[in-house]
Chains A and B, each alone.
Chain A
Amino acid sequence: MLDKLTDRKRKTKLAILILVFMTLCFAAIFLFVGLTEKNIHFYLPRRLERVGAVLLVSYCIGSSSVVFQTITNNRILTPSVMGLDSLYMFIQTVVVFFFGSRQIAMMTGQVNFLISVGAMVFASWVLFFLLFKGEGKNVYFLVLAGMILGSFFSGLSTFMQVLLDPNEFLVLQGKMFASFSNINNDLLGLCVLIVGICILITIKDYSSLDVLSLGVDHGINLGISYKGLVLRNLMVISVLISVSTVLVGPITFLGILLVSLARQIVPTYKHSILITVSTLLGCLSLLGGLLMIERIFKYETTISVVINFVGGIYFIYLMLKESKK
């Protein structure tokens, strides 16, 4: 009888190994195909940077989506429902609207990064604290408030964008789609630092989150400190989402795809495994998407389009499947 459990553990290990191997293959193709002695000094560092960004963004999206689903006890929500993407677009729109596109062109570096990340993190933390202080308020209330604020911000952004000069709007549009092609070198180091701190803070929470996936009452019964755990992890989620959004653009839609695939590949409740697998899947899909765009479509489309297309089809499949249950 015990074989069943060990068998599942072996399958999980095998799946992770295959994913690691495939990710390494993709990364190798991405890094080395087309390199010559002449262009190696130009291409290799830039490609390495992009692979680094892919890894970082995959972790941000994978881990925040897995943890968010546990906290909300819901398998089809991702942190994107909290409207951080919309807030990001709103900040960029406001800058262009009031200061012009030259300002935003000048602000590509750390200043824009810190302002955007700071504002997004600040806004979500204020929301968390306000909502968690009240009696009888729960996580769903928080998600709902996030959704409403999200559509409020995207409405405001659309309004301002309509009033913009078409040339200014074009500059702004560049910020609306995720892109790995012009990542700022200095920012990547800063992001690695921030994400590293986030990992350190949350890694010891994984086992408590495993328990929380039984539900709030069972979790409290088994001795997790619910409020602290949820608040801490929501705060970290907002940091991770902000970092990945500001680094490459709105890309949180990928989350639902990654987590659902991860759950199908490794049927487990363990967060350490789910997050690892989601991150690997994120690397695979982003590297695959980048390869398609750069080598097949020759930059005629963006990675958001590819990912949203594939993700959208998968989401419809997921809905149909869940409704049959």
Chain B
Amino acid sequence: MISIKNISKKYGEKHVVDHVDLDIPKGKIIAFIGSNGAGKSTLISIISRTLSKNSGEVYIDEKELKEWKSKELSKRLSILKQSNYLNIRLTIKELVSFGRFPYSNGKLTKEDEKIVDDAISYMKLEDLQDRYLDELSGGQRQMAYIAMIIAQDTEYVFLDEPLNNLDMRHSVHIMKIIRKLVDDLGKTVMVVIHDINFVSCYADYIVAMKDGKIVEEGATENILKSNVLKEVYGMDIGIHQINGKNICLYYD
């Protein structure tokens, strides 16, 4: 389990994350919502040790971040950030193989290769696996990065805006994959999403943030209410039942 105690991060005098406590439930899709600058990405960067914190503690399976060896932790927890610009030229297969680095140290065993192949077919990238990343569309590239995270095979997965700049088809595909990771493989996936309707249709648990603080958290159906969303986003959002799903309308 991941639990966070009194985390703060300051840039200059401004608290981007302000004394946050959080226990993250296991085996669920947890969505982090909130407006731009609410501190969502900063918070998950701190939990995944890619950003240092000013104060507080992060416990992953009862052990503080500092006590974890980086390599051991990378077998338990993975993160995929928003911008993924590469300076080197790689094929999809090479990229996905990097996901096995925590286990194999760069020398893939037969078993590693099988896991890589499985991850590629999980994302339906078999036909593209020998193509270079810079020859792919944004959606295909994002699929390749997620395949790398799948090959890394960690219990906890953090995804920072995985649907950024993707069309509906790719977005739905990625959310279905995330759902499968949780339901079939028992992983815990924490994801930052701006499209509130994807949150409504796929997430189990919501953490809502505003100005560096957590304002609400709880099961999806308890958070997706007009009054809660008004507090989080500062705008009126109507919620309608369509085909048994809560759909938010906020376009006018």
Interface residues of chain A, those whose CB is within 8 Å of chain B, are 1, 4-5, 73-75, 135, 207, 210-211, 213-218, 220-226, 267, 269
Contact = CB atoms under 8 A, between A and B. Distances in A.
A1 B129 contact: yes
Interface in B69-94: 70-75, 78-81, 84-91, 93-94
Contacts of B152: 221-222
Interface string B80-116: 1100111111110111001101100111000000000
A215 B85 contact: yes
B227 interface: no
B52 interface: yes
B95 to A, nearest CB: 8
Contacts of A220: 48-50, 70
Nearest to B105: A207
B91 to A, nearest CB: 8
Given A207-B105, A221-B80, 5 more contacts: A73-B87, A214-B88, A215-B85, A217-B79, A223-B75
Name, among B52, B72, B87, B99, the residue most crowded by chain A CB atoms within 10 Å (CB to CB): B87
Contact of A5 (B79, B99, B101, B130): B130
Given A207-B105, A220-B49, A223-B73, A267 B89 contact: yes
Nearest to A8: B91
Nearest to B158: A221
Given A135-B52, A207-B101, A217-B81, A222 B88 contact: no
Name, among A73, A211, A220, the residue most crowded by chain B CB atoms within 10 Å (CB to CB): A220
B78 A221 contact: yes
Contacts of B129: 1
Nearest to B104: A207
B130 A4 contact: yes
Chain A interface mostly helix, strand, loop or mixed?
loop
Given A5-B130, A207-B106, A215-B86, A223 B74 contact: yes
A178 B52 CA distance: 44
A210 B70 contact: no
A214 B75 contact: no
Nearest to A4: B130
B93 A225 contact: no
Contacts of B101: 207, 211, 222-223
Given A210-B106, A215-B85, A267-B89, A222 B49 contact: no
Chain B interface mostly helix, strand, loop or mixed?
loop
Contacts of B88: 213-214, 269
A216 B80 CA distance: 12
13 contacts: A135-B52, A207-B101, A214-B86, A215-B86, A220-B70, A221-B50, A221-B152, A223-B72, A223-B75, A224-B70, A225-B70, A269-B88, A269-B94
B149 to A, nearest CB: 8
Contacts of B90: 269
B171 to A, nearest CB: 22
A221 B79 contact: yes
A221 B89 contact: no
A73 B52 CA distance: 21
Nearest to A2: B130
Nearest to B152: A222
A223 B90 CA distance: 20
A220 B65 CA distance: 13
Contacts of B130: 1, 4-5
A222 B89 contact: no
B93 A5 contact: yes
B155 to A, nearest CB: 14
Contacts of B98: 211, 214, 218, 222
A69 to B, nearest CB: 9
Contacts of B49: 220
Contact of A75 (B50, B87, B99): B87
A215 B71 CA distance: 16
B93 A221 contact: no
A211 B86 CA distance: 11
A184 B71 CA distance: 45
A218 B148 CA distance: 10
Given A1-B129, A4-B130, A5-B93, A223 B87 contact: no
Interface in B18-69: 48-50, 52
Contacts of B81: 217
Contacts of A213: 87-88
Contacts of B86: 214-215
B189 to A, nearest CB: 15
